[in-house]
Structure 1
Amino acid sequence: MAVELRAVLDDGTGSIRPELEPFAEGLARMRNPRAGISWMARPHVNAMLHRLADPATAITHETLDGMPPWRSVAYLRDLLMLHGVLPSVDRHLMLFERWLRQVLDRIDDSEHRRVVERFALWHVQRRLRQFADRGPVTEKQTQQARAEVRHAIGFLAWLNSRGRALGTCRQADVDAWYGGAYTARGLTHAFLRWATHAKLAGRLHIPHQDTRSPSPISQRQRLDLIRRLITDDAIELPTRVAALLMLLYAQPLTRILRLTTGDVLGTDAKPSIRLGDPPSPVPEPVAGLLRTHLGNQLNLTTATNRNANWLFPGRRGGQPLTSDALQRQLRLHQIPALTGRAAAIRHLVLQAPAPVVARMLGYTHDQTARLAAEAGSPWSRYGPETGPDPAPQNDPEPGLHDS
């Protein structure tokens, strides 16, 4: 491994470029060096590393932005940030910014490009940066951001096909755009509201339809899923543990994946997990599965997460498992994330006062109070505890906030 690293990171003097030494040391400590050698041998990875080893190349985020392919660049960027070679930035925000530049370059109509760029920079990207100020931007948030930009581009092209521009858009055009495809085009709302506020379009009424999430699964279905997750060894253990945290404690997947091993307390005797204040006890046999998971975590043999403290380590440097990867596993095993989580919080607010549930699970009092009232909880009139709400989570998942 050391020989391969010296060869690929040689700065022309027979030694590794000094700025890349922390990166090389991190790779050299891999528990599975063959995987690292195989990765460096890939032609495009080898080319990227040779370029970074050249003293004439600035080792910056901007340099990486100009390299293809983007997935390999993102992986390399995470490693360089993990080992302190590059300053840390929000990876999802950076990937969105790179995607946006490419999308704008593909818009042929100069006026459309100008409008979409204004919308994307001053509304969509600005919102993502506000998210980044509070915590890591999530995949869900960037997925919605990309969809809003795509809908803006699609709407302007559709208007043009009708012989109209944004400034001459009529209410009949808006109604026709949404007609028969409201759900698919619902994210156009953001662009139309922005365009009206920016006086790029006249006053327009944006149609509204109830798109609330489907009803929660029944309590019996929830308990059946919990039993299945406890006993079904055909499902990967990380998926089982994450799904149980969702079904027992009504946690969004994005928050489950931000948990660290330090959030699991008292693993030897009666474990608990820090979701709010106080930590929530973990009952057997779920506690046994959690202990087994902690002793057999995946993705710790590569350079990316050798010393990671994530409860669910991912494959990218210093990053937890992605919500997309977990959702794919849940769909594969027919475990409903949204309606399962909704069933869990509904059951919990029927069993205890909403303010108590809020503080233990990291919800706000308003969220649990509303859900308690909707569920007909006997505790729905229980007064809130003194003290501030828990800090709001950067939770982009729909359903519990919008239902």
Structure 2
Amino acid sequence: MSRPRKAEDPIRWPVPCARCGQHHQTVARWPDGGVCGYCYQQAKRTRGTCACGHEGVLPGMVDDQPACRRCSGVRLNIDCVSCGAEDELHSRGRCWTCVLGNVVDDLLTDPATGSMANELVPLAAALKSMKRANSGMTWIRQKHVTAFLRNLAVAPTITHETFDQLPDSRTREYVRGLLTEYGVLPRRDELRRRYENWAAEAIERTTDPQNRELIRRYVRWHHQRRMNQMDEVTRGTFLRAKQQVTVAIELLNWLTDHGISLRDLTQAHLDVWQAGGPTTRRIAERFLKWAIKTKAAPAGLAIVPHRRGTSPKLAKSGQDEALNRVVHTHGLDARDRAAAILILVFGQQAENIARLTWDDVTVTDELVTVQLGTIDIALPDPLDKPWRELAANPGHNLTASHPNTNWVFRGTSPGRHIHPGHLTTRLGRIFSTRAARLGTLHELTKLAPVAIIAETLGYSPTTIERHATDSAAAYAQYVAAVSDSVLHAERGN
């Protein structure tokens, strides 16, 4: 990324730059005129194919087109003394890529043996092959990253267990992700692992030993068993499991403080506890049902469930305004615009959007389609434009993080899609993603039957039926209306 420009100063630098026309200090005089420091830097990083056929750095300008040094007459040292390639130089006549390679080899080599562990060779190759070597140098030269890589170089083994024993940090997980992406470490479900670690600590917050054992059983036989049946734990499952266990522990600790055992729990006790705290205490309904089913609590108890349909919805006018901004504001990132369209037009959840792969998207000269449920949905102009831009430039391809990724919305973590929470935060600057999604589903149920909407958008019929009921457009009403129209048509004939 180019450094931000300072404000130009026509008084101090009266002669404008021949390239950008702004008044900054002139650092070089080339055949097309004096060049400021910003344009000089950009020229060294301009790559392509010159009209003469030369491929490499094109620092000069001929007929307003980038040109090589020979064609433009620009005198500039961009020949690396180590690899001989044309590139921006870092130091001692060496390009950024060569310097990065030396730094990586030095950090990942065990000083005691003078060699690099076989498991670290793919990691070294990945770091050295980054398309933007200067970004790699910026990352690797941070003190905590340097220290981590040096410690990794002397580790006796390179396994997930080795990483688990190291202090928790973003660097640890980023390097772990790189080793996984390049086949050194086997893939594992990190959310499942995170939940196991979290649950082990959460269980210890249960004050009564008997209740602690009960929570341990609840975690193991309810939440972890469900997670073990999933191919990959989703973010929603992970967060709900944490919240349900947290509220269950809160309930059990309240009972302990009041000298009440779970077996002696009455409806009056539950009502007092629920009334004395936030509405999130309703989430204990799931734990209570499990406790009753396993004979740990008396039958017949109930917690007032969470009332659905109370979240605010973005009105139709607000949806139209937000969509207009998304489609016609070119300052927005193509990734944000593409995701916003799926929420505003098709009521998609951020988690499902984040998990889309290019197998779900087809981009041709004539059409762009996205598969959300079981049907490919065509995106007409101008809704297709952000998707075409994203297909041409998916992003996050200048580092070692995504060598073979198929994610549409790539994340900063190696081989992973964008975090749904990060996506909603980005879109939150334009509109409330939850309110927009609920508003869209509310409107869609007025236009089509539940079964079709559910199949097309990938929702369960129960979910869409709930929205349909709320908008007074339930599927039964739709069928009745169709039946009446058919009957009238038959009578007319």
TM over 0.5: yes
Gaps of at least 5 residues in structure 1 are: 384-403
Gaps of at least 5 residues in structure 2 are: 1-99, 482-493
Cα distance change, pair 339–55 in 1 and its aligned pair in 2 (3 A): closer
Give the Å deviation of 1:44: 4.3
Does the Cα contact within 8 Å between 2:338 and 2:386 map onto a contact in 1?
A: yes
Please, which of 237, 254, 267 is the counterpart of residue 141 of structure 1?
Answer: 237
Give the aligned partner of residue 71 of structure 2: none
Give the aligned partner of residue 358 of structure 2: 261
Range moving further from structure 2, 244-253 or 345-354: 345-354
Higher relative contact order (CA 8 A, sep 6+): 1
Please, which of 275, 279, 282 is the counterpart of residue 376 of structure 2?
Answer: 279
- Write out per-residue CA displacement over residues 242-283 of structure 1, whole angstroms, 9 at most, x where no aligned residue: 111111122221111111234321342222222244411111
With structure 2 as the length reference, what TM-score do the two structures score?
0.69
Please, which of 18, 35, 39 is the counterpart of residue 139 of structure 2?
Answer: 39
Does the Cα contact within 8 Å between 1:30 and 1:306 map onto a contact in 2?
A: no
Give the Å deviation of 1:234: 4.8
| Aligned mates of 1:210, 1:110 — CA distance in 2 | 30
Please, which of 324, 339, 355 is the counterpart of residue 227 of structure 1?
Answer: 324
Give the aligned partner of residue 343 of structure 1: 439
One-letter identity of the residue aligned with 2:234: T
- Write out per-residue CA displacement over residues 7-56 of structure 1, whole angstroms, 9 at most, x where no aligned residue: 22224432221022222222222222333344344444444434443362
| Aligned mates of 2:259, 2:385 — CA distance in 1 | 65
Give the Å deviation of 1:311: 1.4
SS for the counterpart of 2:428 is helix
> Counterparts in 2 of 1:98-247, with a 5 A limit?
98-105=197-204, 109-130=208-229, 132-133=230-231, 136-181=232-277, 183-203=279-299, 205-213=301-309, 214=311, 216-247=313-344
SS for the counterpart of 2:115 is coil
SS for the counterpart of 1:69 is coil
Give the Å deviation of 1:365: 4.9
Does the Cα contact within 8 Å between 1:247 and 1:340 map onto a contact in 2?
A: yes
Does the Cα contact within 8 Å between 1:178 and 1:185 map onto a contact in 2?
A: yes
Give the Å deviation of 1:369: 5.6
Does the Cα contact within 8 Å between 2:282 and 2:306 map onto a contact in 1?
A: no
SS for the counterpart of 2:446 is helix
One-letter identity of the residue aligned with 2:218: F
SS for the counterpart of 2:384 is helix
Residue 117 of structure 2 corresponds to residue 17 of structure 1: yes
Residue 428 of structure 2 corresponds to residue 331 of structure 1: yes
SS for the counterpart of 1:332 is coil
Range moving further from structure 2, 87-96 or 187-196: 187-196
Residue 449 of structure 2 corresponds to residue 380 of structure 1: no
One-letter identity of the residue aligned with 1:283: P
SS for the counterpart of 1:359 is helix
Give the aligned partner of residue 270 of structure 1: 367
Give the Å deviation of 1:170: 3.1
SS for the counterpart of 1:160 is helix
Higher helix fraction (1 or 2): 1
Give the Å deviation of 1:216: 3.6
One-letter identity of the residue aligned with 1:33: A
Does the Cα contact within 8 Å between 2:206 and 2:253 map onto a contact in 1?
A: no
Give the aligned partner of residue 96 of structure 1: 195
- Write out per-residue CA displacement over residues 121-158 of structure 1, whole angstroms, 9 at most, x where no aligned residue: 2212222223x33xx32222211111122212222222
Give the Å deviation of 1:63: 2.1
Range moving further from structure 2, 280-289 or 62-71: 62-71
With structure 1 as the length reference, what TM-score do the two structures score?
0.83
One-letter identity of the residue aligned with 1:208: V
Question: What is the aligned residue count?
Answer: 378
| Aligned mates of 1:18, 1:36 — CA distance in 2 | 22
- Write out per-residue CA displacement over residues 344-363 of structure 1, whole angstroms, 9 at most, x where no aligned residue: 23433433444443333333
| Aligned mates of 1:377, 1:191 — CA distance in 2 | 32
Does the Cα contact within 8 Å between 1:219 and 1:347 map onto a contact in 2?
A: yes
| Aligned mates of 2:141, 2:201 — CA distance in 1 | 28
Identical counterparts, % of pairs: 30
One-letter identity of the residue aligned with 2:173: A
Give the aligned partner of residue 419 of structure 2: 322
